[in-house]
């Protein structure tokens, strides 16, 4: 086989088009055959060109890969040190993880994209300042259980997620479509990280099982050290895989989006029917209302992920109708949640939690209505599919503003209660 390929290369050596066809047919076999043939044809200019093309590309890729792996290894080490700070310095774990869980992963991921996108010094200073300010702010809030503290801790994670998006998108002068790419990256990262964690779970089970056979109980040590470090390293490694090998998820994520969109639509319709049938009181059951809002956020995330993936894989007309119906059902869910929170505010007054939920529901409702309008325009041939993604991208900064308000201003507005 290789001998025949060498003969073909020799025959067509002075015909660039035919040599290119041989290369595209089987790149690995072509390189092996060409490398074996090259010493005998070094006097050919075209042969010298192919030699440089094949070897220079691989050399550059190898060097880049080594640097990337080293950087990722350093970021994993940093994340591991941060997550083990309570054990290293006898810090109260409840206090530390409640306030600082976001700093375990997001700054490391942000640093990776700062380095990858070669951001300007002023942008690096801006990102670093935002992270440092967040560290001091959240850790100097009064150490008393309060609604504003809980809200700040939750929204701080979202704020760090936005900083990561800024780093991913390329800084201040980013292109609008980069925000949609960021949403797509999040979906891809969830897919890859889940696979990594499944593999890690299997390895964990095998490891503990093997040691138990020789009567060594390593379970506590393993979970407190190796497993926790592997857990925080998984998203960082997943990020590297999605960025260096996009072909890993380019075909998987769109398929997942296409499968889950109709399933979520059926689940949502069934769930609403079940709520009516069960007579569940959405207006007076605080815990149920909280779960209802979490459901709303989850469905919104699936809609955005599906639209982002659809922009990459040319979503079908049926897919657009499914997403439109899912968006309409989500508006219904949002309307129910919004009416419930307004009822609670009317009956029992304004609180930090009710204010935060009310603001979030209003923002999501407006966003959904804008998306639905674009779905209508696309389905009736009045706009291109990418207009849906542009609406989502343009609206993301609105969420950032609300996140900043809840995280950094609510504690003072509500007097830390």
Give 33 or 176, the one with higher predicted confidence: 33
Q: What is the pTM of this model?
A: 0.82
| pLDDT reading at 152 higher than 80 | yes
Q: Are residues 51 and 106 in the same domain?
A: no
pLDDT tens track for 155-169: 999 999 999 999 998
Do 404 and 376 fall into the same domain?
yes
Overall number of domains in the chain: 4
> What pLDDT does 59 receive?
46
Pick the residue with more confidence: 352 or 10? 352
Residue whose C-alpha is closest to residue 313's, from 412, 389, 383: 389
Q: Which range of residues forms the domain containing residue 231?
A: 175-250
pLDDT of 343 above 80: yes
Q: What is the pLDDT of residue 280?
A: 74
Residues 106 and 192 both lie in one domain? no
Mean pLDDT of the chain: 85
**50 within 8 A of 34, measured Cβ to Cβ:** yes
Q: Alpha-carbon distance 70 to 44, whole Å?
A: 39
Among the ranges 23-32, 256-265, 408-417, which has the highest mean pLDDT value?
408-417
User: Could you tell me if residue 88 is inside a domain?
Assistant: no
pLDDT value for 81: 94
Sign of torsion over alpha carbons 148, 154, 157, 161: negative
Residue 87 CB partners (closer than 8 Å, separation 6+): 224
More reliable by pLDDT, 62 or 351: 351
Count of beta carbons in the 10 Å neighbourhood of residue 294: 10
Q: Is residue 28 predicted with pLDDT exceeding 60?
A: yes
pLDDT of residue 254: 72
Long-range contacts of 112-115 (CB under 8 A, 24+ apart): 112/71, 112/72, 112/75, 112/236, 112/239, 112/240, 113/164, 113/167, 113/168, 114/167, 115/71
Give residue 63's pLDDT.
Answer: 46
> Are residues 295 and 389 located together in one domain of the fold?
yes
Judgement on whether residues 373 and 403 belong to the same structural domain of the protein: yes
pLDDT tens per residue, range 270-311: 888 887 787 777 777 777 777 778 888 888 888 887 777 666
Given a contact cutoff of 8 angstroms between Cβ atoms, the answer to whether 268 and 329 are in contact is yes
32: Cβ contacts below 8 Å, ≥ 6 apart: 2
What are the tens digits of pLDDT across the range 360-412? 999 999 999 999 998 888 888 777 777 788 888 889 999 999 999 999 999 99
Q: Which two tokens stand for residue 406?
A: 């809840």
27 located within any domain: yes
User: How many Cβ atoms from other residues are within 10 Å of residue 47's Cβ?
Assistant: 20
Residues 29 and 3 in one domain: yes
Q: Classify 142 as helix, strand or coil.
A: coil
Q: Which of 250, 283, 304 is the last residue of a domain?
A: 250
Contact (CB, 8 A) for 70 and 198 = no
Identify whether the C-beta of residue 161 lies closer than 8 Å to the C-beta of residue 378. no
CB hemisphere CA count around 209 (13 angstroms): 6
- Choose one of 83, 103, 128: the last residue of a domain: 83
* Owner of token pair 């909280």: 290
Q: What is the DSSP string of 15-49?
A: -HHHHHHHHHH-HHHHHHHHHHHGGG-TT-HHHHH
User: What pLDDT is attached to residue 53?
Assistant: 77
Q: Write down the residue that tokens 């007076």 correspond to.
A: 284
Domain end among 64, 83, 102:
83
């Amino acid at each position: 086989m290789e001998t025949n390929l060498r003969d073909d290369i020799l025959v067509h050596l002075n015909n660039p088009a035919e040599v290119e066809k041989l290369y595209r047919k089987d790149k690995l076999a072509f390189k092996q055959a060409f490398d074996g043939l090259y010493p005998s044809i070094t006097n050919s200019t075209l042969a010298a060109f192919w030699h440089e093309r094949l070897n220079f590309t691989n050399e550059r890729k190898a060097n880049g890969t080594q640097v990337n792996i080293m950087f990722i290894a350093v970021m994993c080490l940093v994340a591991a040190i941060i997550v083990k700070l309570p054990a290293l310095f006898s810090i109260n774990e409840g206090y530390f993880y409640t306030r600082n869980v976001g700093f375990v992963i997001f700054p490391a991921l942000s640093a990776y994209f700062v380095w990858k996108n070669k951001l300007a010094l002023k942008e690096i200073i801006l990102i670093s300042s935002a992270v440092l300010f967040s560290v001091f702010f959240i850790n100097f809030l009064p150490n008393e259980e309060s609604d504003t503290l809980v809200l700040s801790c939750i929204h701080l994670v979202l704020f760090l997620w936005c900083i990561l998006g800024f780093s991913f998108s390329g800084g201040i002068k980013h292109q609008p479509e980069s925000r949609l790419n960021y949403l797509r990256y999040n979906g891809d990262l969830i897919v890859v990280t889940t696979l990594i964690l499944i593999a890690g779970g299997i390895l964990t089970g095998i490891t503990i099982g093997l040691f138990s056979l020789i009567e060594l109980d390593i379970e506590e040590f393993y979970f407190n050290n190796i497993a926790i470090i592997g857990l925080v390293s998984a998203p960082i490694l997943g990020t590297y895989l999605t960025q260096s090998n996009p072909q890993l998820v380019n075909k998987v994520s769109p398929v997942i989006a296409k499968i889950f969109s109709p399933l979520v639509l059926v689940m949502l319709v069934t769930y609403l029917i079940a709520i009516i049938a069960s007579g569940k009181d959405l207006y007076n059951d605080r815990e149920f209302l909280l779960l209802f809002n979490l459901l709303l956020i989850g469905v919104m995330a699936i809609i955005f992920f599906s639209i982002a993936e659809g922009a990459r894989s040319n979503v079908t007309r049926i897919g657009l109708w499914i997403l439109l119906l899912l968006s309409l059902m989500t508006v219904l869910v949002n309307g129910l949640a919004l009416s419930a929170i307004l009822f609670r505010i009317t009956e029992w007054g304004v609180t930090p939690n009710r204010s935060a939920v009310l603001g979030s529901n209003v923002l999501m409702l407006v966003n959904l209505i804008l998306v639905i309008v674009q779905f209508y325009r696309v389905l009736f041939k009045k706009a291109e599919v990418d207009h849906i993604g542009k609406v989502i991208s343009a609206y993301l900064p609105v969420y950032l503003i609300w996140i900043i308000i809840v995280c950094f201003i609510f504690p003072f507005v509500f007097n830390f209660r």
